[in-house]
Amino acid sequence: MNKINCAVLGATGVVGQHFLKLLVAHPTFEVTAICASDARAGKKLSEMKEVVPGGIPQEFADLVFDPMDVDILASKNVQVIFSGLPADVARDVESNAAQNGIKVFSNAGSHRMDADVPILIPEINHYQIELLRIQQQKKQGFIACNANCTTTGLTMALLPFIDLNIKRMVVASYQAVSGAGYPGLPVMDISNNVIPYINNEEPKVCRETGKIFGHVENGTIIPREWEIFAHCIRVPTIVGHMISVHLELDGSTDYDTVAGLIRNYLPPAEVAGLPTAPEKPVLFTEQQDRPQPRYDVDLGTPERAKGMAVIIGRLEVNKNIVRFVTLSNNLVRGAAGGSVLNAELAYRLKLI
Ligand SMILES: NC(=O)c1ccc[n+]([C@@H]2O[C@H](COP(=O)([O-])OP(=O)(O)OC[C@H]3O[C@@H](n4cnc5c(N)ncnc54)[C@H](OP(=O)(O)O)[C@@H]3O)[C@@H](O)[C@H]2O)c1
């Protein structure tokens, strides 16, 4: 089979280099172009600093950076873009690419709240992919976003509970420094420290969660109305966002019921078998001191889905209150892996 040519934008960054890792020997997509800031144009990937372990795969070492120019990418027959650009840069680049017929899978926040752009998490809202068809009627290509990395971990962990009539949720995150990109926070700020504020993170968690679980009506998404209170906190870990979640339900339940829901949760058929889809997207531990970023950040099978599963632990249920701690890989499930899975779903549904 002829593979689909794709470009990785932001290929020197932590998300970009995770894209490169995940796209080695991918059955559908072939990385044929890379871009970053202007100064990189003409240089080889092998000349760059590896900012994540294995982030400059041998297979792509000889690729040469193109200028960030959609016309050049289109002339190289790039059909798919995986974007790990900062939001201010991504806004115009991604719009231009979609206008030029390229299918964009983005990690940037710039287009997430656009009315016709879905924030796709296939296990939750594969049905929102219909918005991509609507975009394609207006322009040749489309933009599909994935969520902010904390929102992804939270919404994935909510999957088994979705029929429990959640009235209100209170969440507090413990977010790793890689969430801020490379080189991240100055060591003087984050070593031996915890920072109880991440710019604009809490509003993103609240509004993106509603949109992700929303339904499609007249070509737009009607968000699910939930009362969400979020504190987002930076902690001195490298990878893995942990979230403490407190759900208030309309009605009572018990531990065995909730534990059974988590254990028995299976992904929808639309997603099953995609190359980067974890067989069990939501895992459960009853070990008292888990999950921990050091041990649980790369969960997921098969091999290609490592880092794509989230894990729930510390479950406590008291009548209408359900509490737990969840952990997800912010760079894989919360970023590059999420976009690759979205592209695989779009390919399965013949949008690419
Ligand atoms: N880190 C996470 O956990 C995470 C999770 C979800 C979403 N995201 C989002 O993903 C995007 C990338 O994040 P990151 O963590 O990978 O950031 P990063 O490590 O700082 O990488 C940023 C990338 O963008 C490139 N870039 C910067 N300015 C540019 C410009 N003017 N023109 C072209 N390229 C430019 C950089 O290239 P140079 O090296 O040449 O400057 C680099 O390749 C951001 O929008 C972020 O919010 C990140």
Domains, the chain: 4-148+336-348 (3.40.50.720), 149-329 (3.30.360.10)
241 is annotated as an active-site residue:
yes
149 is annotated as an active-site residue:
yes
Catalytic residue among 149, 206, 215, 231: 149
How close is the Cα of 189 to the center of ligand 1, in Å? 21
In short, whether 334's Cβ falls inside 6 Å of ligand 1 is yes
Integer Rg of the chain from CA: 20
Q: Is the pTM of this model over 0.95?
A: yes
In short, whether 158's Cβ falls inside 6 Å of ligand 1 is no
**b/e string for 335-350 if b means 16 or more Cβ within 10 A?**
bbbbbbbbbbbbbbee
How close is the Cα of 134 to the center of ligand 1, in Å? 28
Amino acid at 230: A
In short, whether 85's Cβ falls inside 6 Å of ligand 1 is yes
In short, whether 48's Cβ falls inside 6 Å of ligand 1 is no
Q: What is the pLDDT of residue 320?
A: 97
pLDDT digits over 227-245, tens only?
A: 999 999 999 999 999 999 9
Query: Dihedral of the CA atoms 210, 213, 217, 220 (nearest 10)?
Result: 60
Mutate to test the pocket of ligand 1, among 66, 107, 111, 182 (most ligand atoms within 8 A of CB): 107
Name the band, by pLDDT with cuts 50, 70 and 90, for residue 1: confident
In short, whether 307's Cβ falls inside 6 Å of ligand 1 is no
Q: What is the pLDDT of residue 139?
A: 87
How close is the Cα of 83 to the center of ligand 1, in Å? 9
pLDDT digits over 317-344, tens only?
A: 999 999 999 999 999 999 999 999 999 9
How close is the Cα of 158 to the center of ligand 1, in Å? 28
Dist. CA 78–CA 260, nearest whole Å? 45
Name the band, by pLDDT with cuts 50, 70 and 90, for residue 25: very high
Share of the chain above pLDDT 70, in %: 100
Q: Which atom of ligand 1 is nearest to the CA of 39?
A: 40
In short, whether 68's Cβ falls inside 6 Å of ligand 1 is yes
| Confidence check: pLDDT of 90 > 90 | yes
In short, whether 332's Cβ falls inside 6 Å of ligand 1 is no
Mutate to test the pocket of ligand 1, among 9, 15, 330 (most ligand atoms within 8 A of CB): 15
The rounded mean pLDDT for the chain is 97
